[in-house]
Homo-oligomer: A and B are copies of this chain.
């Protein structure tokens, strides 16, 4: 990620900060679109930054576009060209964050704090050439560290970078989180704080499960399962990046001062806790292919056709049906179900038989916890609880740290509450 020279500079910079009397650190803070949604919210962010700075810390701030701006730009682009070129799309979308960095720097100046804004390119964020979903390849933190050393707050545009041809790229969904985590790694920051409109990761959706509890600390792996399963606090790629580079980060709210959830490799009481949280994704559909000829290549042919149609398949169950053929069932995002039903008949024809049916009333419930690796009986406990609540389990999937079941959407909230209760996650 970083060259030797950058590590040295990072240490110099921290060394300078540590010369002070208090426990000074380099902190990366990321503020999402709702946190910088308008002029007043940007001023609030400036006050928050001021507070952290007064505690003696050095600060790198990553900001997103004001909420709504990116969608406005996309709408304008689509009104001109319904399939806009991805390079031009990145040229367009990058202005959202560029606006916020300038305004945030001005807000800091207004309260007497030296600050300087950086576009992704200026921050030395090099990416590959894949427009609209570029991957960060390297960060040169030298200019940022120099400005930190000079006592400035550094404001970096999230979501964007520059490729080796000097073209502006964007990082895709969750890109600003990724910018923050990657900068924290490159600058050897002591801490990375992701400010958003929720104040942490909960044991279950607190809007549904009234006694859901905020999780103080969680491991990367658990966060990954919860993120990918619909907790939606952060995109998986940012968590994966943090795990890879060992960046400890905290998810917290920019609208209050509550402590958030700290995400790191090892969590102290990990051995004791079996299940960490319950995640629910209601936007699922189930596709059932019945009487598929029992050939070795059948499943491969089907999933290749789905992949070619950009349909992501999640849970898969196959069993030999009593009719002699094979029944193959899988889940997809609800939006993809119609497309799957359109694509598959031709494939089945070539395979020599089988019928497709889609059911779009599916929810996916998962219990997640590193602790379940070493504890038997988690699955049995879950299935029993759901059974006692009269909830029918349609599909089951398991991994080292999670158990997932597909249930009818109408019973999803009850299922979440039952799972939450049986593992004692509530307050």
Contact = CB atoms under 8 A, between A and B. Distances in A.
Interface stretch (A78-86, A211-219, A229-237, A385-393): A78-86
Given A95-B95, A95-B98, A88 B106 contact: yes
B107 A81 contact: yes
A333 interface: no
B109 A84 contact: yes
A122 B73 contact: no
A102 B80 CA distance: 11
Contact of A105 (B88, B98, B119): B88
Nearest to A100: B92
Contacts of A102: 77, 88-89, 91-92
B99 A81 contact: no
Contacts of A356: none
A383 B363 CA distance: 89
A95 B99 contact: yes
Contact of A81 (B106, B116, B167): B106
Interface string A101-115: 111011101100000
A168 B98 CA distance: 11
A398 to B, nearest CB: 46
Given A85-B105, A105-B85, A122-B166, A99 B110 contact: no
B76 A103 contact: yes
A103 B75 CA distance: 11
B116 A87 contact: yes
A150 interface: no
B95 A109 contact: no
A81 B110 contact: yes
Contacts of A81: 106-107, 109-110
A94 interface: yes
A42 interface: yes
Contact of A94 (B39, B98, B105): B98
A42 B88 CA distance: 15
Looking at chain A's contact residues, is the secondary structure mostly helix, strand, loop, or mixed? Answer: helix
A119 B162 CA distance: 13
Interface in A37-81: 39, 42-43, 73, 76-77, 79-81
A88 B109 CA distance: 10
Contact of A80 (B94, B110, B117, B168): B110
B77 A106 contact: yes
B84 A106 contact: yes
A80 B103 contact: yes
A92 B157 CA distance: 12
Nearest to A110: B81
Given A80-B39, A99-B73, A103-B77, A88 B110 contact: no
Nearest to A117: B91
A85 B102 CA distance: 9
A265 B106 CA distance: 45
Nearest to A95: B95
A138 B146 CA distance: 28
A167 B105 CA distance: 15
Given A81-B110, A91-B117, A92-B103, 14 more contacts: A39-B76, A42-B80, A43-B80, A73-B99, A77-B103, A80-B103, A81-B106, A81-B109, A85-B109, A92-B99, A92-B106, A98-B98, A119-B168, A122-B167
14 contacts: A39-B76, A43-B80, A77-B102, A80-B107, A81-B106, A82-B110, A85-B105, A88-B102, A88-B105, A88-B109, A91-B117, A92-B103, A98-B98, A122-B166
